[in-house]
Amino acid sequence: MALQTPEENSYHCQGLQSCVGIFNHPPLLEHRLSPRYFLPAPLPFQPRYLTPNTGIVPGQFPHQKVPPPPPPLLGPIETHTLTLSQLFKEIAPGFKHYPEGLFTFIHGTASSLDPGTKSVSITTPTGEVKQTYDILVLATGSRTIGDHPWKSSPRGYEATKEILHNVQEQVAAAKSIVLGGAGPTGVETAAELGFEYGKMKEITLITSGDELLIGSLPTHIAQGAENELKKLNVKIVKGVKVTGAKATTDGKQELTLSNGETLTTDLYLPTAGVLPNTDYVPKTLLNEKGDVVVDHFLKVKNVEDIWAAGDVVDIEPSQQVYCEKQAAALAKNLDLVLKGKEPVVYKYGGARMMGLSLGRSKATGGSGNMKIPGLIIWWLSECSFSFSLLIFSCVLCVVSVTC
């Protein structure tokens, strides 16, 4: 381990009053910006973390490989091996080992950002407050279109638990289930439902493409995933898109397809599309999709002293593997900037990596055109499960500098 001299490890923050960060993947970035990350240097700032959640919520459907293998989150509630206390982790206790008074946890939601006055308006349970900053970090992630359990709800983890319970009850009562979209979320969800209910319920996956996982995995790997879904009795309909859905008088859902046909099902679960949580960000800092536009250092373009990472940025897909890389790179650059040094370029692009579970006994994935064996995907998923629990929620982090 290389040792840093006091000068190399000192911070240049004269004149700084506060440094704010708005996070959707808080624990990773919070840890990177926490007191422990900067030791042994004298800590020149006090991190303050703002979130609408008091707990952390995992994203999509984590498969916990602990004996015995647990069922999917959409399986029967009574068979789940994870309790809510295991699935939803409180944020504040995770920082109890840090020195008291070196950071502040705030329960609230960022409502607006004013780069001109370098301030963020925050809605808290007790009212509206304003926090000024010298450095701002945006990482508020993304949300689903509608109330679905693929991502945590921007309304907080209590709302996410309610959404999850509602979908579990709907799945349990349904005899037929249609999923719209054959991206990673749609394929994984179809596999989980097929594994648990394939012999009891009619499971249908609809995609507008001529194959599954377009843009995520090469054709030969996607075909393997399709074969596994068929083994789980999942019906796959290609070349059509669900263009509308409405409730019928008998409590079912009537779907309108792009080919003019209609399909009636007990439950429809759309899995395609997410929206970045950037409603509070000025439009001048966003692209046409609502993503924050960043440069090759992860600094937000057209503004000073604002950085961004995760699902909100425009440079990489909204996937955990990229969030992890960006969080590490942003924290490193922020550390360099606070020490008066130049940030380093964040390298992105290259071969795309993807891994997904196919029920509780199979997995697949690839790096570029190379297929990754399912056993390796399972092993990586097992190693990262506990970390995945710490990745998905909506947070605003504030770092107050006191030099």
- Do 198 and 171 form a contact (C-beta atoms < 8 A)? no
pLDDT of residue 40 exceeding 50, the answer is no
Choose between 69 and 288: higher pLDDT.
Answer: 288
Q: 3-state class of 84 per DSSP?
A: helix
User: How is residue 62 written in tokens?
Assistant: 């984590």
Identify the weakest region by mean pLDDT among 11-15, 175-179, 329-333, 365-369: 11-15
Least confident of 115-124, 357-366, 387-396: 387-396
Q: Is the pLDDT of residue 77 over 50?
A: no
Across the range 4-21, mean pLDDT stands at 47
Q: What is the C-alpha to C-alpha distance for residues 147 and 76, in angstroms, rounded to an integer?
A: 20
Closest to 185 in 3D by CA, of 177, 176, 195, 193: 193
**Three-state SS for 211?**
coil
Asked if residue 58 has pLDDT above 60, the reply is: no
Domains and CATH numbers, the chain: 19-401 (3.50.50.100)
Q: Is the pTM of this model over 0.75?
A: yes
pLDDT of amino acid 332 = 93
| Confidence band for 378, pLDDT divided at 50, 70 and 90 | confident
Mean pLDDT, residues 315-320 taken together: 87
Would you call 95 helix, strand, or coil by DSSP? helix
CB proximity list for 38: less than 8 A, separation 6 or greater: 11, 335
Q: Are 351 and 368 in contact (CB under 8 A)?
A: yes
pLDDT at 305: 94
Distance CA 203, CA 235 (A): 6
Q: 291 by DSSP, 3-state: which?
A: coil
Q: Is the pLDDT of residue 52 over 80?
A: no
Structure tokens at 212: 């599954």
Please check whether residue 400 is in contact with residue 120, taking contact to mean a CB–CB distance below 8 angstroms. Answer: no
Question: For residue 22, what pLDDT is reported?
Answer: 56
Element (H, E) at 32: helix 26-32
Q: What confidence tens digit (pLDDT) does each residue in 139-169 have?
A: 888 999 888 988 888 888 788 889 988 998 9
pLDDT of the residue at 155 = 82
Q: List, in sequence order, the alpha helices (H) in 270-392.
A: 320-338, 374-388
**What is the DSSP secondary structure assignment for residue 197, as one 8-state letter?**
H
Q: What is the pLDDT of residue 13?
A: 46
pLDDT in tens, 95-125: 777 777 777 777 788 999 999 999 999 998 8
- Residues 204-248 have pLDDT tens digits of 999 999 999 998 999 999 999 999 999 999 999 999 999 999 999
254 φ, ψ (degrees, to nearest 5): -100, 120
Report which of 93, 72, 28 is spatially closest to residue 387, judged by C-alpha positions: 28
CA atoms within 13 A on the CB side of 230: 9
Give Dmax (Cα) for the chain: 73
- Strand ranges for 213-252 from DSSP E: 234-238, 242-247
Per-residue pLDDT, averaged over 323-335, amounts to 91
- Residue 252: per-residue pLDDT: 97
Closest CA to 25 of 184, 138, 163: 138
pLDDT tens column, 275-304: 999 999 999 999 999 999 999 999 999 999
- Return the bridge partners of 135, or none: 19
19-35 pLDDT, tens digit each: 555 554 444 455 555 54
Q: Which residues pair with 142 in a beta bridge?
A: 276
Per-residue pLDDT, 376: 84
Sign of CA dihedral 348, 353, 357, 361: negative
